[in-house]
Amino acid sequence: MNGYERLLATIRGQAADRTPVAPQLFGHAAHLCNVSLRDYEQSGALMADCQLRMQAHYRSDAVFAFMDFCVESEALGSRVRFYDTQYPEIVDYVLPAQADAGALRLPDPMADGRLPEMLRGIAALRAGLGDRVLLTGCLLGPMTLAAQLYGIENALFLAADMPERYETALDFATACAIRYGQAQLAAGAHLVTVFDPAASPAVVPPAFFRQLLLPRLQRLLAALRRAGALATWLNIAGPTAPILASYPAAGADIATFDYEVSVAEACRLLPDSCLVGNLKALDFLDAHPERITLAARQLVDACRERGRFILSSGCEIPPESAPANIAALLAACDAGG
Amino acid sequence: MAGTSAVPDALRALIDALLDGDHAAALAETRRLRQAGLPAETIVTAGLETAMSRLDDKCTVESFNLLEIMLVGRAVSAVVRELYPEGLPRDDRRGTLVVATLEGDVHDLGKNIVKMVLIGKGYRVVDLGRDCPIDTLVAATAREGARGVLISGLISTIVPQVRRVRTALRAHGLDAVWVVAGGAALKQFAAAELDVDYVAENAFDGARYIERRLEGEVP
């Protein structure tokens, strides 16, 4: 089996030759190739080249087409500052506090900001990976994009002070995500992972997920499926135990869970979903590779009988992580899973 | 912990408004209390600190979200600004604390949450902002006579900087200053790995550690 076949079989609950590994490696590709994050984030061709070289090095089963969390907001008019060794920040949000997101125009993925660069990068990645390795596009979920339009503090105050206007922002963010996700699939992504860290119970009460996000995720994930996504993938970091059981109702086939949720609890809450997790991302910085191997094998063993498990970290592996630790993660499945 | 029975009836409406995160109602109630002659210090100790204590009890490691803390924090900040437009006076009983996000990390939400919690608990807090060089942190700690520094870190690249803080403080004779780390990235480490006194799970956990140090429960 190649990585694509291995992942597809696992997602569908079919037998695979071993547990697939899909480490969340984004900016680490730039680090590995001695490219600054500033350059990596502004060229789809360079992003794709670094990701392809990294995949050839580690031989992971999936590749994430991801630049940074500012891409969508910048395309809508936010001003972004770039750095060489850390991800960019938004220095001027497109929406002032309490402004109406309904006044914004939906972005054109072929023309606005760095969206076209991302699409060029996805096309280059698919050309390089074919159907040997699974290629996933990446989107901000509605709550995180809303936070990136106002700044998270203003977005959260808006949710409390003017809930109807906040819902307008969530609807606009959902429409943006659908359009951009469709474009990523058309450019060659096999599926699209929806990242919504602002929906974590560490940020908002679980009721927010159920009442405000769930109906919008249903629209988003259904639209991605209609646009040809092989499966739907929801990725929310942090202590997500109070919301995991709602993921199937959102339409998510694949669920990432972080180190703050035990594998036993994730299996209990999502008995029929494909799980992805949940190594502690910061361990990849300077823990000993043996620690990574041990933790990875424990996870693989814990999920061996249930199947439908993809080995990964619970959130992004830091760009400056030690390559030996990432190699240990991949080797854990080669040897034991 | 401040118990319900110890709260003067006059302050109940203020405490309810604070815990509801209703900053407008909290501000109106504070003005009413001041006009009725209640001292500012009483409003802080019996009102704000009681509200923060109840929020602390509610916000366990399993149940803690930024939105709720931010709403209470906004209300607390509004009341403190109303009572002390020039900033909270120095409290020799509790001392001063320094909060910062270190150079290389431009995220300051976590640091702002810690600051709000500490102010709500009656501490004088010196906020050094984000992207703060270690030299600035050390100089401010010495200048303010701070008893502790609290560092928030969202991203992994900040870890080497955090590991330098203790050494930098010691080099300036500030060996006794407590160093507390927290935030999404830093809380994934043990205290020894960061060379700090304590790694806080969240803002309240960090504040509780400071309280234990002040009360001598932690040597």
Same domain (yes/no): B79, B111: no
Say whether pLDDT at B76 is over 70: yes
Domain coverage including residue B169: 96-214
Same domain (yes/no): B68, B131: no
pLDDT tens per residue, range B86-143: 777 766 667 899 999 998 877 778 888 888 888 888 888 999 998 899 999 999 999 9
pLDDT tens per residue, range A314-334: 999 999 999 999 999 999 987
CATH of the domain at B194: 3.40.50.280
Q: How far is CA A245 from the centre of its chain?
A: 19
- What pLDDT score was predicted for residue B6? 54
Q: For residue A86, give the nearest of A72, A63, A69 by alpha carbon.
A: A69
Shortest distance, CA A76 to any CA of chain B (angstroms)? 21
Q: Is A201 on the interface with B (CB under 8 A)?
A: yes
In one-letter notation, the amino acid at residue B34 is: R
Question: Phi-psi bin for A239: left (phi > 0), alpha (psi -120 to 50), beta?
Answer: beta
pLDDT tens per residue, range A122-155: 999 999 999 999 999 999 999 999 999 999 999 9
Q: Is residue B90, in this structure, part of any structural domain at all? A: no
- What pLDDT score was predicted for residue B119? 85
- What pLDDT score was predicted for residue B7? 61
User: Of A69, A89, A153, which to mutate for an interface test with B (greatest number of B Cβ within 10 Å)?
Assistant: A153
CATH of the domain at B46: 1.10.1240.10
Say whether pLDDT at A337 is over 70: no
- What pLDDT score was predicted for residue A212? 96
Average pLDDT over residues A77-86: 95
- What pLDDT score was predicted for residue A335? 59
As a 3-state breakdown, chain B gives helix, strand, coil percent values, each rounded to 5, of 55, 10, 35
What would the two tokens of residue A290 be? Answer: 């043996």
Q: Please name every residue paired with A256 in a beta bridge, in sequence order, or none if there are none.
A: A235, A276
Q: Inspect the interface and report whether the beta carbons of B65 and A153 lie closer than 8 Å.
A: no
- What pLDDT score was predicted for residue B113? 86
Same domain (yes/no): B76, B101: no
Q: A with B: how many residue pairs have Cβ under 8 Å apart?
A: 60
Average pLDDT over residues A11-21: 96
Share of chain A above pLDDT 70, in %: 99
Same domain (yes/no): B206, B132: yes
Q: Is residue B133, in this structure, part of any structural domain at all? A: yes
DSSP A34-102: T--HHHHTT-HHHHHHHHHHHHHHH--SEEE----TTHHHHHTT-EEE--SSS--EEEE-SS-TT--GG
Same domain (yes/no): B55, B158: no
- Give the nearest partner residue to B67 out of A156, A285, A320, using CB atoms: A156
- What pLDDT score was predicted for residue B2? 40
Same domain (yes/no): B48, B104: no
CA A292, CA A173: separation in Å to the nearest integer? 37
What would the two tokens of residue A143 be? Answer: 């709550």
Q: Is residue B89, in this structure, part of any structural domain at all? A: no
Q: Count of domains in chain B?
A: 2
- What pLDDT score was predicted for residue B1? 38
The secondary structure of B109-131, three-state, reads: HHHHHHHHHHHHCCCEEEECCCC
Same domain (yes/no): B150, B195: yes
What would the two tokens of residue A126 be? Answer: 């698919």
Using CA coordinates, name the residue in chain A closest to B108.
A153
pLDDT tens per residue, range B189-214: 999 999 999 999 888 899 999 989 98
CA A270, CA A38: separation in Å to the nearest integer? 38
Q: Is A85 on the interface with B (CB under 8 A)?
A: yes
CA B61, CA B173: separation in Å to the nearest integer? 35
pLDDT tens per residue, range B36-69: 999 998 898 888 888 888 887 877 655 678 898 8
Provide the pLDDT confidence category of residue B5 given band limits of 50, 70 and 90: very low
Same domain (yes/no): B119, B165: yes
Provide the pLDDT confidence category of residue A178 given band limits of 50, 70 and 90: very high
Q: Which residue carries 């006794």 as its tokens? A: B176
Provide the pLDDT confidence category of residue A68 given band limits of 50, 70 and 90: very high
Q: Inspect the interface and report whether the beta carbons of A86 and B185 lie closer than 8 Å.
A: no
The model's pTM:
0.89
User: Of A285, A313, A315, A317, which to mutate for an interface test with B (greatest number of B Cβ within 10 Å)?
Assistant: A285
Count of CB atoms situated within 10 Å of the CB of B139: 13
Q: Inspect the interface and report whether the beta carbons of A320 and B157 lie closer than 8 Å.
A: yes
- What pLDDT score was predicted for residue B155? 80
Domain limit, last residue, from B53, B83, B113: B83
Domain limit, last residue, from B83, B106, B132: B83
Same domain (yes/no): B184, B137: yes
* Global ipTM: 0.85
Shortest distance, CA A251 to any CA of chain B (angstroms)? 25
Higher per-residue confidence, B33 vs B45: B33
Same domain (yes/no): B122, B35: no
- What pLDDT score was predicted for residue B3? 40
- What pLDDT score was predicted for residue A333? 85
Residues 6+ apart with CB under 8 A from A317: A23, A24, A25, A28, A281, A284, A326
CA A168, CA A270: separation in Å to the nearest integer? 31
CATH of span A3-336:
3.20.20.210
CA A303, CA A231: separation in Å to the nearest integer? 20
Average pLDDT over residues A181-196: 98
What would the two tokens of residue A209 be? Answer: 């997920």
Mean pLDDT (chain A) is: 96
- What pLDDT score was predicted for residue B63? 67
Average pLDDT over residues A165-194: 98
- What pLDDT score was predicted for residue A128? 98
B→A contacts (Cβ < 8 Å), by residue, are: 21, 62, 64-68, 70-71, 74, 104-107, 109, 112, 155-157, 159, 184-185, 188-189
Same domain (yes/no): B149, B176: yes
Q: Is residue B219, in this structure, part of any structural domain at all? A: no
Domain limit, last residue, from B62, B83, B104: B83
Q: For residue A321, which residues of chain B lie inside 8 Å, CB to CB?
A: 156
Say whether pLDDT at A255 is over 80: yes
